[in-house]
Amino acid sequence: MSEANGVKEVGYFDCPGSGQVVIRGNVAYIAHMAAPHGTTIVDVSDPARPYRLAELTIPKGIHSHKVRVENDVMLVNREVNPPGPPPADFPGGFDIYDVSRPNAPRRITTWLARGMHRFTFDGRYAYASPELDGYLGNIVMILDLKDPARPEEVGRWWMPGQWAAGGEVPAWKGRDHRCHHPIRLGNRLYVSYWHGGFVILDIEEMTKPRMISGLDWSPPFACPTHTALPVPFPLRGRRVLLVADEDVVRLRPSSPSFLWFVDITDESRPVPFASFQVDGVDGSPQPEYTGCHQPCEEIRGTEIPVAWFAYGLRIVDIKNPHAPREVASFLPPVPAGAQRVSSNDVSVDAQGRIYLADRTRGLHILERT
């Protein structure tokens, strides 16, 4: 049975577990966690009666759990699942589709790489995290999709130590420092870098991204950095970055991850000054996939929906960034075959409806009350 505070469920779409959901118009695009399920396209014009328009399938061993859509162009990722050396015929990178007819997606081309994790897309440029030969772990890349049939690399950046083919030697183990995904605001990229924290890049000259600053708190904190999300308006006269650590791949047993608040008014010296944790969570070690995962990246006000793994949806009011507070929540029922909830991603539509995806099963459609 679900538990709701300040939200109500208006619809549910039964589907395999999801890594990401995005809404464009009256259509939801759902990227799934495991083959053979790739991407499902769903009509949500009546949220009480969502129905499938199309589904893309993928072969075993492939991960296609992320999706972005702008201007009728859809990008879906391709990486090895589980992580490891790709097979010789593995088509990693992006698949690019024309979804001007959502019920009949048409593949335009594939941009090839060893793999691709998470990314953002503004309709012209993709800000991506490809795996490339010669580098340790994912790096930052900007791709121009002015012509979606011919994506062109514009610029790339990597953390010094990643370019093994260039003789660089990392100060960390293996792939601990790697790009998770970049988010653009103005001429800046805010890039989560896993156990390397986050970095702020100047992309005024896109061909040569330049690091302004970075902050790495892992260690001493145990969880990797998943998302660095800039608030697009000032909060009490300050510029603020929301940073979500992901409750996986911990460096040691620990309490669940949480949401950070970082002052970037002086972007050369980012300063953490507040945090938010779900009420009732103590400091004892908990299983992975318990704590914070992903805030909604489309910020439209001071109420931020956050997918909080085992705690479902948490809506956090950041109006006073020094004292963020929960104003609403929704804990879905445990999916059949699962031991607990695992809310993985959250998105909103133009009407303010909230779409909460579970990594085990199902998409819940919610409204604020």
Number of structural domains found in the chain: 1
Please give the pLDDT value at position 4. Answer: 83
Please give the pLDDT value at position 89. Answer: 73
Residue 106, Cβ neighbours under 10 Å: how many?
10
Do 11 and 367 contact (CB within 8 A), yes or no? no
Please give the pLDDT value at position 350. Answer: 94
Taking phi first (over 0 means left), then psi (-120 to 50 degrees means alpha), and beta for anything else, what does residue 36 get? alpha
Joined together, the tokens standing for residue 305 give 């929906």
Which residues partner with 85 through β-bridges?
A: none
Joined together, the tokens standing for residue 47 give 């949220």
Within-domain flag for 71: no
Within-domain flag for 186: yes
What CATH number has the domain bearing residue 334? 2.130.10.10
Please give the pLDDT value at position 150. Answer: 98
Low-confidence ranges of the chain (pLDDT < 50): none
Q: How do strand 271-276 and strand 294-295 relate by DSSP bridges?
A: unpaired
Within-domain flag for 70: no
**pTM across the whole model:** 0.96
Please give the pLDDT value at position 87. Answer: 65
Please give the pLDDT value at position 83. Answer: 67
Within-domain flag for 240: yes
Within-domain flag for 22: no
Within-domain flag for 279: yes
Q: What is the pLDDT of residues 175-219, one digit of tens each?
A: 899 999 999 999 999 999 999 999 999 999 999 999 999 999 999
Within-domain flag for 278: yes
Do 128 and 119 contact (CB within 8 A), yes or no? yes
The residue with tokens 């145990």 is 222
Is 99 exposed, middle or buried, given 0-12, 13-18 or 19+ CB atoms closer than 10 A? Answer: buried
Range of the domain at 158: 3-15+118-368
Within-domain flag for 140: yes
Sign of CA dihedral 289, 290, 291, 297: positive
